[in-house]
């Protein structure tokens, strides 16, 4: 498929769906080993996580942070390991939300035991967050600013993500999120709920981010072996940032600057953008970029939008990447 370097894109909250990646479990040795390693390292919670991932009717819905977050991390990490086993190695990584932590693990910032500790800490921290959610809107942040009144600010509402020039995610607690969603809809700004039962990347989870940081205690963090384009800063992660728990933990309450990070990455050269996670959400966003529309870079999702056809899609993507 040419000689373009691979940029691995790792999705975050909202990409999860029932059956995500399950067809590869037990069929792809490296993927299975990586998933099992993380489940085992997470102890009893890992066993419950595996059971809900494989179940037709999970005990805890996959949209809940306690399931979506560690599973999205594990899937991204395991898919990266599966690619490496086949000799497909990225030149750079870019993760959305919790996908940035999967990128850090694949780049060697922390190992699998540390990853398990970090994901347990993130789950525990988000258990303290208020009920809420995420709302994807066809608008710019500037267009949304008039709706941020004193009540919205005091309730901890915020811009959760900038996914494309006119695709912004609003994040916050209930009932404020529903109130703002109705006001925006009445004004003609359309939107859709992202799969999440908690708010992310907004002031409402600032306390959870501080608690999350305490979960890094005792861990040794290392500079990344591969470049990571951070969706917190829209720049490559600097060595001094990578070794500080604050950088990774406070990301939980900071906006996800996906589009600025992608734009920065694609400004450095031509890439094959490989989405390593469930769905095709990041692939769809990346296809809007002028570098992709103009053919200078290309997009290859590893998994389908739903559970059906997982193995076929994965093997077709591998064939593309190795031809």
1 in a structural domain? no
pLDDT number for residue 1: 52
Q: Could you read off the pLDDT of 72-101 as tens digits, one per residue? A: 999 999 999 999 999 999 999 999 999 999
150 in a structural domain? yes
163 lies in the same domain as 300? no
31 lies in the same domain as 152? no
Q: Give the mean model confidence (pLDDT) for residues 248-270.
A: 98
220 lies in the same domain as 265? yes
Q: Could you read off the pLDDT of 200-217 as tens digits, one per residue? A: 999 999 999 999 999 999
Distance CA 273, CA 201 (A): 24
What's 211's domain CATH number? Answer: 3.40.366.10
- Domain range for 37 is 6-128+205-322
The closest of 234, 212, 10 to 124, measured between CA atoms, is: 212
Which residues are CB-contacts of 90 (< 8 A; sequence separation ≥ 6)?
Answer: 5, 6, 7, 8, 80, 83, 106, 226, 274
pTM: 0.96
Distance CA 50, CA 58 (A): 10
62 lies in the same domain as 88? yes
10 lies in the same domain as 159? no
Beta bridge partners of 321: none
In which region does residue 238 sit, left (phi positive, over 0), alpha (psi from -120 to 50) or beta (all else)? beta
Q: Give the mean model confidence (pLDDT) for residues 281-295.
A: 97
92 lies in the same domain as 187? no
What's 158's domain CATH number? Answer: 3.30.70.250
85 lies in the same domain as 142? no
194 lies in the same domain as 211? no
């Amino acid at each position: 498929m040419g000689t373009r370097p691979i940029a691995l894109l790792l999705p975050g909250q909202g990409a999860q769906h029932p059956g995500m990646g399950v067809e590869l479990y037990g069929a792809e040795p490296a993927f299975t080993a990586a998933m099992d390693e993380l489940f085992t390292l997470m102890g009893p919670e890992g066993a419950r996580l595996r059971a809900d991932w494989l179940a037709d009717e999970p005990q805890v819905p996959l949209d809940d942070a306690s399931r979506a977050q560690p599973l999205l991390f594990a899937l991204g990490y395991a898919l990266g390991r599966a690619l490496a086993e086949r000799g497909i190695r990225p030149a750079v990584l870019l993760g959305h939300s919790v996908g940035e932590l999967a990128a850090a693990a694949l780049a060697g910032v922390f190992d699998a035991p540390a990853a398990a500790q970090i994901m347990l800490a993130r789950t525990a921290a988000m258990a303290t967050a208020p009920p809420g959610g995420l709302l994807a809107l066809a608008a710019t942040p500037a267009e949304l600013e008039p709706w941020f009144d004193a009540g919205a600010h005091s309730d901890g509402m915020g811009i959760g993500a900038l996914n494309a020039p006119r695709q912004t995610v609003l994040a916050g607690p209930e009932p404020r999120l529903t109130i703002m969603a109705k006001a925006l809809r009445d004004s003609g700004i359309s939107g859709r709920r992202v799969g999440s039962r908690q708010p992310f990347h907004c002031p409402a989870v600032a306390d959870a981010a501080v608690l999350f940081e305490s979960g890094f205690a005792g861990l040794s963090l290392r500079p990344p072996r591969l470049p990571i384009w951070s969706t917190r800063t829209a720049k490559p992660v600097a060595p001094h940032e990578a070794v500080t728990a604050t950088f990774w933990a406070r990301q939980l309450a900071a906006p996800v600057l996906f589009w600025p990070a992608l734009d920065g990455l694609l400004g450095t050269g031509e890439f094959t953008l490989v989405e390593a996670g469930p769905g095709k959400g990041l692939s769809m966003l990346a296809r809007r970029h002028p570098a992709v529309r103009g053919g200078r870079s290309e997009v290859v999702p590893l998994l389908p939008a739903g559970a059906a056809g997982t193995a076929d899609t994965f093997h077709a993507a591998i064939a593309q990447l190795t031809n």
